[in-house]
Structure 1
Amino acid sequence: MKTRILVKEGEYRLAKAFCMDPKIDAQELYCFLTGTDKVSLFMKAEEEVDPETEQKYMELIEKRASRIPLQHITGVQEFMGYSFNVNPDVLIPRQDTETLVSEAAKTIQGTPREKLSFFEKLKGGKEWDVLDLCCGSGAVGISIAKICGNTRVTASDVSEKAVETARVNAKKLRARVKFVTGDMFGPLAGARFDMIVSNPPYIKTNMISILQEEVKDHEPLSALDGGRDGLDFYRRIVDEAADHLKPEGFLLMEIGHDQGEDLRKMLKDSGKYSPAEIIKDLPGRDRVVKCKLK
């Protein structure tokens, strides 16, 4: 069978199984199996595929057709231009979350020189202590460490398996990140940071059942379920983050598209933070809430 026909058959089977992006996934699986890229796939479209490769490809297609996420088959996900290892123990990094990283990096890199202390000016800039809370695969904290060289990043998660995955990613990407394991701020007693970033669970409990099968059946529930109204973790963060921020330290959190005003009110009612700014993602939806410690 020719490459073009084989991949088209894969696309057909994935479409029949109601996978969201059958054409893209069919191509990605062929490239993953053969170690090629999409340019090579196009160039070799009329070449014959050997029977063994054909069989292995169809086995991968059947896995994807059973709604196993593409990333759990390939073991990787691209995020902020970096390749992260992923598995069923961690949430698969989404493009939406790149808004959180981009805003954090912009904040870190945008410190006016006149606000630096004498010693910071001698060093060439401020060294930022950053906490990635609920780090999962480590995508957020590691990306910040890679983009912003003037950071000391700590990443924390309650899941030991998630932290182990994040460690592997940090080593793979040669990122300077310290990891701790524990429930929220529990393992961080006495520690203070210039910035806390977090992508906590924020899906309403009763909405879990209507998520895509790839998400509800294959990604960790603990990384999705934000309680009855989706705000349980935000309440804890808003209540406790002030004790772990340096004066005028920043708090940035990813939010659901309909949670902006709830978070703005929550932060205001706490009396601990400056008025919150809501940052939108590329499609124009509320995605990140940002404020400073008073």
Structure 2
Amino acid sequence: MTSFAELVRYLAERFLQAGIESAALDARLLAAYAAGFSPEETVTKRDAALPPEVLDRAVEAARRRFAGEPVSRIVGAREFWGMPFGLSADTLDPRPDTEVLVEATLAWCRKHDLAGAPLRILDLGTGTGCILAGLLSELPNASGVGVDRSEGALRTARQNFARIGLDSRAFFLCGDWGDALADATFDIITCNPPYIETGDIAGLCPEVRDFDPLLALDGGKDGLKAYRDIVPQASRLLRVSGLLIFETGHRQARLVRDMLTELDAGFQTEIFPDLAGIERAVAGVRQSGGDGGRGKKKVGNPIGSG
């Protein structure tokens, strides 16, 4: 009978022959998925003989990988901020770069001694709920609301929060950005909106184009439609001195920053790079003045810890 280690070697060789760059990692993850092994068991049971049904599952998983489906979609989960998040056809596959939003928000909380405060967090376009869950896991007295236009995405988010034990501190609403929250105000608003230009979607890598939901990708002709819809709502939904933070696409960060600084409520802003050094997140702290920031003294690094 074939052992787990032999199955990993076989899959890795086949993936490498198919030109899959992450052949060794994909082979290990898919073999573990087929066998139902935990990360620890992939080491302690590497020589264990596998029954035929496991091999059948591995073959089917490999077939899907050859067809371009991402490993996370095949296994149905992705790790984000050290926690596993279930995926569905209605949710984006969380990327490591999105953790920048969590890191920057936590830095702002620490700087202003708010890590233990009863903060109210709004996550627009919540998807799997990964951003909101990352924050609630680090802010023990905070609570949150996740909003999404997709009922399917909200079902996935609720399941994720129940699985990781955060469901008592959050609830989820179906709606178009902040429209369903007429009278609510929040201390923090986070958002990873669709920001791909419509004309660029056909050229995306197959793992994104063919498996992430179009609703979560298409940002309109210039990729900025969602920001134009959301930014005017920020003054209504965010308390004075509260934090608004967006994920942005390539070459969009400064355009989104300009939208914030032009608001009548006035925002002091900062841009954060991702792991590759690309400007990935725009954060703004709402000011008490009503002149949209015009004529206001600029304050260096108002959000981060340094």
Task: Say yes or no: TM over 0.5.
Answer: yes
- 1:136-169 deviations in Å (ceiling 9; x for gaps): 1111112211111121211100111111111111
Deviates more, 1:260-269 or 1:195-204: 260-269
Q: State whether residues 96 and 281 of structure 1, in contact with CA within 8 Å, keep that contact through their aligned partners in structure 2.
A: yes
Aligned to 2:86: 85
- Aligned residue number for residue 264 of structure 1: 257
The answer to whether structure 1 residue 168 and structure 2 residue 159 are counterparts is yes
Alpha-carbon separation, structure 1, partners of 2:38 and 2:123: 33
1:85 and 1:137 in contact (8 A); partners too: yes
Aligned-residue offset at 1:8 = 2.4
Q: 8 Å contact 2:127–2:157 — kept in the other structure? A: yes
Q: Which amino acid aligns with 1:55?
A: D
CA displacement at 1:260 relative to structure 2 = 1.6
Aligned match of 1:104 = 105
Contact preservation (8 Å) 1:134, 1:200: yes
What's the offset of the Cα at 1:98?
A: 0.7
> What pairs with 1:1-294 in structure 2 (closer than 5 Å)?
1-37=2-38, 40-42=41-43, 45=46, 48-112=49-113, 125-175=116-166, 176-294=169-287
Matches of 2:83 and 2:262, distance apart in 1: 38
- Opposite residue 163 of structure 2, the aligned amino acid is K
Distance across 1 between alignment mates of 2:33 and 2:107: 34
- Hey, what's the Cα distance between the residues in 2 that align with 1:276 and 1:198? 15
CA contact (8 A) 1:135 1:198 kept: yes
Report if the CA contact (8 A) 1:191-1:244 is conserved.
Answer: yes
Question: Per-residue displacement from partner, 1:238-277 (whole Å, max 9, x unpaired)?
Answer: 1111111111211101111321211122222334332320
Once the 2 structures are TM-superposed, how far is the Cα of residue 180 of structure 1 from its aligned partner? Answer: 0.8
Q: Matches of 1:51 and 1:112 in 2, distance apart? A: 56
Q: Which of the two has greater helix per residue?
A: 1
Aligned residues: 284
> Amino acid of the residue matched to residue 118 of structure 2?
E
In structure 1, C-alpha distance between the alignment counterparts of 2:109 and 2:148, rounded to whole Å:
23
Task: Show structure 2 runs of 5+ residues with no match.
Answer: 288-306
Per-residue deviation, 1:86? 0.7
* Secondary structure at the counterpart of residue 270 of structure 1: coil
Confirm or deny: 8 A CA contact 1:89 1:220 kept in the other structure. yes
Q: Distance in 2 between matches of 1:263 and 1:90?
A: 24
**Is contact 2:26–2:71 with CA below 8 Å preserved after alignment?**
yes
Q: Are 1:126 and 1:150, in contact at CA under 8 Å, matched by a contact in 2?
A: yes
How large is the Cα RMSD of the aligned pairs? 2.0
Tell me, yes or no, if the aligned pair for 1:29 and 1:61 is still in contact at 8 Å.
yes
Report if the CA contact (8 A) 2:116-2:140 is conserved. no
**Cα-to-partner distance string for 1:15-73 (whole Å, 9 max, x where unaligned):** 34443422111110111122324554455555554444323212211111111221222
> Residues 279 and 13 of structure 1: is their aligned pair in 2 closer, same or farther, counting only changes over 3 Å?
same
Q: Is the 8 A contact 1:19 1:67 kept in 2?
A: no
Instruction: Provide structure 1 residue ranges, at least 5 long, that are not aligned to the other structure.
Output: 114-123
CA distance in 1, matches of 2:20, 2:142: 40
Say whether the 8 Å CA contact 1:27–1:38 is kept in structure 2.
no
Identity of counterpart residues, as a percentage? Answer: 34
Q: Compute the displacement of 1:110 (Å).
A: 3.0
Aligned residue for 1:121? none
